[in-house]
Chains A and B, each alone.
Chain A
């Protein structure tokens, strides 16, 4: 690993991927492969309590009995799980007290990503918990949040400082036995964010995490847990970028949201992991399990995602609508280009009375990519008066791209109303001609049409994300128009 670091600054290659640089800092890694000893070592390294180690080992035992899912409309070579590093952390001075002690190179990396922590602290009102590889480097605005009782810290810190909360909620939404990647994550998760919003508190800031994979051939296994207590409100933003690599990297994260009575959680993601080059070489394998439990009455969770990166995306942010009158919403834009493959969608499980869900999914596939929507709407017998509306639109750019839709609708209650609509189309010649006749060049036209197509989703994003998302799509669609 150390030898790789020497020659790894790739930023000067002038490629399309703006974030394809590699930060030259020493990292600390375990040997390749996964076994009980690695998990024990990982747990010991992080000074975890016994219950968490037991949890990891149990998940690992479960993982060994499971097989990798094959039902998704994806095609990728088999992953060798014994050839990955399961822990990588920047070597750092013990006990950081202020940002000044953070490795300056690390800070420079974030600056390139557009989230200078030091700047951010002064100018923007966003608190950032930056995850660099596996260990949370610095958390800003923590003090401000503490004043209102909001806990926002890395999950390892939460395990130490708030074990009762973590123990109560960890794995309740996504149990380790849920699926193959969830079990793997539960066994080896390294870090992530933890948020707790106490009763009746409207979180004064939008919380945000930037994840970043840095070291080579490292699986990144974050774990995020957001708990919104009765009557609270939180807006959580997550952005992801990863440096350029030839190898494929694995990313298997879990996000768990818990909303109690009258709580609101809005969770937004802009995902722009490295997607591989034009020939489909390299890129991140993104296998993420995201799920929310709307436990309380009138609770509300919305997932908004803009998926613009990763070689492979396997991601289904879901809602279990357990409390009466609870609401789940899913807004998604998934853009694939080159040889990217995405199989993404949502699951809405209606359990409580008068639960409502809305699904708006927009897929754009360009060049030779494949983009699939896969969603489940399940109405359990107890969900009287449940209501769902789903709309999935696909847009094809280029005649070698493909778009698929696989909705699953499962209704066990006669008072439920479920609607699903989907369409597939391409940018029409008429639209293009009209815009061109107004003096716009064709790339600008396409960008406008695509933005119009995605508007319903973008308007759900917080302002700064919405601007970033528009830029991201523009950047991705450059050169893809034949």
Chain B
């Protein structure tokens, strides 16, 4: 264990972030004895060494919207509409856990993205990550602004790399923001990300993540709904195969009365992949009239795929509606048979059904261009699924 820690500290020797160093020295690298890393033992995946991702140009992505921010290790290029300002800033060193410590330790420059109040942008802002190990953004969405961000991580899949990403989102009164993130990695890649959000009055925040390909994807979302009238959506999809391991860790805290949230998280698992979902929904004392729902559905396609799911509810108020559910299942032989009887071959039939299962989550993306784009990504992804002979 110490060797991973040593490697982490070595690879970030130039970092001046003492807080993160101290955190790591005091707490070490989590093991599966830590409740929040129970099913994802970092020692299994990480060496602690960090390697910058190599850039691949995604032409199709850039066609989605004229507005973009392109982040590389020492540089940033952007084209932003009026009312959206990009600045360098210092993120108040918020080291709260392992993931945020990793980010603070390796981060070279933090950027502040400010959306002025009442700014309404129809087209999404693309945040395209290239070769930065630990990109970090603070996003402030002003009152009554409406905006969507699409953050894309798509490093060269052939090459070993590590990414420790961080987003800090502040949503002010009456604002509506969408944050969609796609991570398309490769067999040697590690992606550990932390997103935190605070949501004010009568605002909405929609989160979506689509991840596939990486050796390890760990995505943590912590949303604090602090004032009444607000709504949070936390949706996502993992499509995993080979030896991929993905872990989604959502914490939603309803700190105020009359707030609502919805979570739908789906995982499709083939080969020897493993998917982990932890959703923690906490309703504070006196946060009455909260309506929150949480659903995790998993489709297991092969014998050796493995799912761990922990949908957790902590309720401290009595006049609330909370429901959660989790399912783990397979494709139904009847459905496959139906498609086969219509002249569709076995593999195609299975892919159609997988796609149908997954699209339920994708349909929750509000922005139409992003929805189509994620759908296309998923389609490409399923083409790579082996889908062992279906036993019916």
Question: Which residues of A are in contact with B by a Cβ distance under 8 Å?
Answer: 71, 73, 379, 381, 394, 396-426
For residue B366, CB closer than 8 A to chain A, the reply is: no
Contact between chains at B303 and A413 (CB < 8 Å): yes
> CA separation between A406 and B303, bound complex, in Å?
26
- By a CB distance below 8 angstroms, the chain B residues around A407 are 309-312, 326
Q: Which residues of A contact B320 (CB under 8 A)?
A: 396, 424, 426
- In the complex, what distance in Å separates the CA atom of A384 from the CA atom of B299? 16
Least Cβ–Cβ distance between B137 and chain A, in angstroms: 32
Expressed in whole angstroms, the Cα–Cα distance for A412 and B305 within the complex equals 6
Contacts of B298 in A (CB 8 A): 411
A residues near B310, Cβ cutoff 8 Å: 406-409
Question: Is there contact, CB below 8 Å, between A418 and B326?
Answer: yes
B324 part of interface (Cβ distance < 8 Å): yes
Is the beta-carbon distance between B303 and A414 smaller than 8 angstroms? yes
> Which one, B301, B313, B318, contacts A397 given CB within 8 A?
B318
Contact B311 A422 (CB under 8 A): yes
Greatest chain A CB density within 10 A among B288, B316, B323 is at: B316
Within 8 A of A (CB), among B289-347: 298, 300-330
Are B312 and A404 touching (Cβ within 8 A)? yes
When A424-B322, A424-B323 are in contact, do A403 and B329 touch as well, CB less than 8 Å? no
Interface contacts beyond A417-B330, A422-B323: sample of 7 additional A-B pairs, CB < 8 Å, sorted by A: A399-B317, A402-B317, A407-B309, A409-B328, A411-B298, A423-B322, A424-B323
Knowing A402-B314, A402-B315, A404-B313 are in contact, say whether A409-B322 is a contact too (CB < 8 A): no
Whether A416 lies near B328 (C-beta < 8 A) is yes
Most buried by A among B288, B303, B321, B328: B328
| A423–B319 CB distance below 8 A | no
- Picked from B311, B315, B329, B330, the residue with its CB within 8 Å of the CB of A424 is B315
In the complex, whether B285 has a CB less than 8 A from a CB of chain A is: yes
Q: A400-B285, A406-B312, A422-B311 are known contacts. Are A417 and B318 too (CB-CB below 8 A)?
A: no
Distance of A423 Cα from B309 Cα, bound (Å): 17
Which residues from chain B contact A424 at a C-beta distance below 8 Å?
A: 313, 315, 320-323
Whether the Cβ atoms of B326 and A414 lie closer than 8 Å is no
The interface of chain B, by Cβ under 8 A from chain A, is: 35, 39, 285-286, 288, 298, 300-330
A-B contacts, CB under 8 A, total:
115
Q: Contacts A403-B315, A405-B312 given: A381-B326 contact, CB under 8 Å?
A: no
Task: State whether B321 touches A425 (Cβ < 8 A).
Answer: yes
Residue of A nearest to B319 (CB): A426
Q: Say whether, besides A400-B285, A414-B302, A414-B305, A420 and B326 are in contact (CB < 8 Å).
A: yes
Q: Contact check, B328 vs A411: say whether CB atoms are below 8 A apart.
A: yes
Of B35, B300, B313, which is in contact with the most chain A CB atoms at under 10 Å from its CB?
Answer: B313
- Chain A contacts of B286 at CB under 8 A? 399
Given A406-B310, A411-B307, the answer on whether A420 and B325 have CB atoms closer than 8 Å is yes
- Shortest Cβ distance from A362 into chain B, in angstroms? 15
In the complex the two chains form, is A419's CB within 8 Å of B327's CB? yes
Min Cβ gap B248→A in Å is 14
Instruction: Write out the residue numbers on chain B whose beta carbons fall within 8 Å of the beta carbon of A402.
Output: 285, 314-317
A379-B317 Cα distance, complex, nearest whole Å: 34
Contact of B325 with A398 in the complex, beta carbons under 8 Å: no
A-B contact list, 22 entries, CB within 8 Å: A379-B328, A396-B315, A402-B316, A404-B315, A405-B313, A406-B312, A407-B309, A407-B326, A409-B328, A411-B306, A413-B300, A414-B300, A417-B329, A418-B329, A419-B327, A420-B326, A421-B324, A421-B325, A422-B324, A423-B322, A423-B323, A424-B320
How far is A394 from B318 in the complex, measured between Cα atoms in Å? 10
Instruction: Please name the residue on chain A nearest to B320 by beta carbon.
Output: A424
- Does the CB pair B306–A409 fall under 8 Å? no
Closest to A390 in B: B326
B-side contacts of A401, CB under 8 Å = 318
Contacts of B314 in A (CB 8 A): 73, 402, 404
Residue of B nearest to A428 (CB): B319
Which of A412, A418, A423 is in CB contact (< 8 Å) with B306? A412
A412 CB, nearest partner CB in chain B, Å: 5
B308 & A409 in contact (Cβ 8 Å cutoff): yes
Q: Write out the residue numbers on chain A whose beta carbons fall within 8 Å of the beta carbon of B312.
A: 404-407
Residues of B within 8 A of A394 (CB): 313, 315
What residues of B have a CB within 8 angstroms of the CB of A397 in the complex? 318
Cα separation A379 to B326 with both chains bound (whole Å) = 15
Contacts of A413 in B (CB 8 A): 300, 303
Task: A477 to B304: give the CA distance in the assembly, Å.
Answer: 48
Of A399, A406, A411, A415, which is in contact with the most chain B CB atoms at under 10 Å from its CB?
A411
Task: Evaluate contact between A409 and B313: CB separation under 8 angstroms.
Answer: no
| 10 A-B pairs with the lowest CB-CB distances in the bound complex, closest first | A396-B318, A402-B316, A424-B322, A405-B313, A418-B328, A420-B326, A414-B300, A409-B309, A411-B307, A404-B314
Which chain A residues border B313 with CB–CB below 8 Å?
Answer: 394, 403-405, 422, 424
Q: Enumerate chain B residues within 8 angstroms of A400, measured Cβ to Cβ.
A: 285
Closest to A71 in B: B35
| In the complex, residue of chain A having the shortest beta-carbon distance to the beta carbon of B312 | A406
CB-based contact A426/B328 at 8 Å:
no
Whether B308 lies near A410 (C-beta < 8 A) is yes
Cβ contacts under 8 Å, A409 to chain B: 307-310, 326, 328
Q: Which of B302, B303, B307, B319 contacts A399 (CB 8 A)?
A: B319
